[in-house]
Amino acid sequence: MSFPVLICDDSALARKQMARSLPATLNAEITFAVHGLDALEQLKKQSFKIMFLDLTMPELDGFGTLEAIKKHNIDVNVVVVSGDIQPKAKERVMALGAKAFLQKPIDQQALKQVLSELVLPTERNKAAYIPAAPVLSPALRRRDIYMEVANVSIGRAADALARHFDVFVHLPLPNVNIFEVSELHMALRDLSNNDQVSGVCQGFSGEGIAGEALVLLSDSSVSDLKKLMKIPADSDELEELELLMDVSNILVGSFLQGLGQQVEVRFFQSSPVLLGQHISIDSVINSTSGSFKKTMTFEVSYKIDGTSIRCDLLFMFVDESLPLLDNKLSYLMEDA
Amino acid sequence: MLNLPAEFEQFHWMVDMVQNVDLGLVVLDRDHNVQVWNGFMTHHSGIQAHDAIGKSLFELFPEIQPEWFKLKTKPVYDLGCRSFITWQQRPYLFKCRNVRPVTQQADFMYQNITLNPMRTPTGEIRSLFLSIQDATAEALASQA
């Protein structure tokens, strides 16, 4: 007897990893969906015992998918598998009817525990030999791997921010691109919407992989941020500056932790440097024409729930770091 | 047995370096009590290691605001990442005399400080260390 399972994730790597993590004894018959709307289509066509659902996806995210499942009374055990590990994200999905929450990258023990709760012993195949179910796994591209690695790291940074300020952070879909200098400038211009920004940069390195992080906070965000920090409104520029530096450092530090865990490198950030306060994006652009040709850039925009805080984060790995990073991530390609 | 003296010698070198490096090194436990106080700190603050060790940082330096300082240590303990205090935000944490009182026009030593997590062999963070850099030259150059 086969066990129908639906895996819904926009990342090809994540779908593949999830499929591979399921124990053979489950004899799972796996169907893939690439976003929430796709998953709802599949749920209409046939019934599934378990659905593994990502949260951060295009078209319809995991929260929306859970709402739709609840609204249409679809009978399926949903296990949320996400890089968004904020306590409030977990609370929200459990309230929306999810049965369990697994953190990315998947821990085998945790998955085993969840499966033992959701799968009846009678549904398990006890046979000694099970012909391997042909899992039609999607082809992986280099970009898929970087996207998923970025996703998990971004989740860590959001969680750090959420815990530090006790807020809920809306997790964006990251962008990963290889940029030439001029393309990087175009990307920066796209971020700004003519608003004035404050910019902080911070270099980092680990085992020869070096890069720089850029944190841009729109001016309208700074006063809201002060409220979160409970700083008296009449405090001077100096404290605002320090707040800006601290927020940047927390975001950069926690992203690097998440990335470091996945590539097995310990990254060290150097001290944050202010590019400018209340400046136009053009003056930020002027300060990014350093000595590099190509950069791999991870772009993220965080928004904090109930505030107007918007924060753009760019992680740029330059020239000679790219092959090193590829090399460190090759384990994800190989076992595919 | 032949290896032992070499290891001892290396250990002594380590201690010697920590004591004499041109960088302040201070280890603090979770209650902000001083555990290590190197030569740089002794020379520039005038506080001897045996007077500093075991005492609270806030007792030794009453001008450091505990609430503010705890906010700085939070990411170190919670996230295991570094935290920074730069002279642009706070000119100094430990008030020390400028090392060139005659040829440099500064009343005190500007400092760049990094707070680093220290992990136990099991990966827990029970203490942190501060590294204190003299940034007076940089500060004066940028103000000129």
Average pLDDT rounded to a whole number, residues A127-133: 48
Percent of chain A exceeding pLDDT 90 equals 17
Q: Kindly report, residue by residue over B38-50, the tens digit of the pLDDT.
A: 999 999 998 999 9
DSSP code at position B33: B
CA–CA distance, A275 with B6 (Å, rounded to integer): 48
What is the structure's pLDDT at A68? 92
Q: In what order do the strands lie in the sheet with B34-37?
A: B34-37, B24-29, B125-134, B111-119, B83-85
Half-sphere exposure of A78 (CA within 13 A, CB side): 29
Local structure of A266: helix, strand or coil: coil
Amino acid at A28: A
Cβ of A250 and B79 within 8 Å? Answer: yes
pTM of the predicted protein model? 0.77
Q: What is the mean pLDDT of chain A?
A: 82
Does the beta carbon of B71 lie under 8 angstroms from any beta carbon of chain A? Answer: yes
Give the whole-angstrom CA distance, residue A336 versus residue A261.
19
Q: According to the model, what pLDDT value does residue A128 have?
A: 43
**ipTM value for the complex:** 0.77
- pLDDT at residue A132 is higher than 60: no
Q: Is B72 on the interface with A (CB under 8 A)?
A: yes
Contact predicate A65/A8, CB 8 Å: yes
Which tokens in the block code for residue B127? 């203490």
Q: E strand or H helix at A178, and its extent? A: strand A175-180
* Mean of pLDDT values over A125-153: 66
What is the predicted pLDDT for the residue at A23? Answer: 85
If you search the block for the tokens 């809920």, which residue do you land on?
A: A168
Residues A10-28 pLDDT 10s:
888 888 888 888 888 888 8
- DSSP letters spanning B107-137: SS--EEEEEEEEE-TTS-EEEEEEEEEE-HH
Give the residue on A whose Cα is nearest the Cα of B117: A268
Lowest mean pLDDT among A46-50, A183-187, B127-131: A183-187
Contact A19, A47 (CB under 8 A): no
pLDDT digits (tens, 9 = 90+) for A54-82: 998 888 999 999 999 999 988 899 999 99
Contact B89 A254 (CB under 8 A): no
Greatest C-alpha distance within chain A: 72
**Predicted confidence (pLDDT) at residue B26 exceeds the cutoff of 90:** yes
What lies within 8 Å, CB to CB, of A320 at 6+ separation is A208
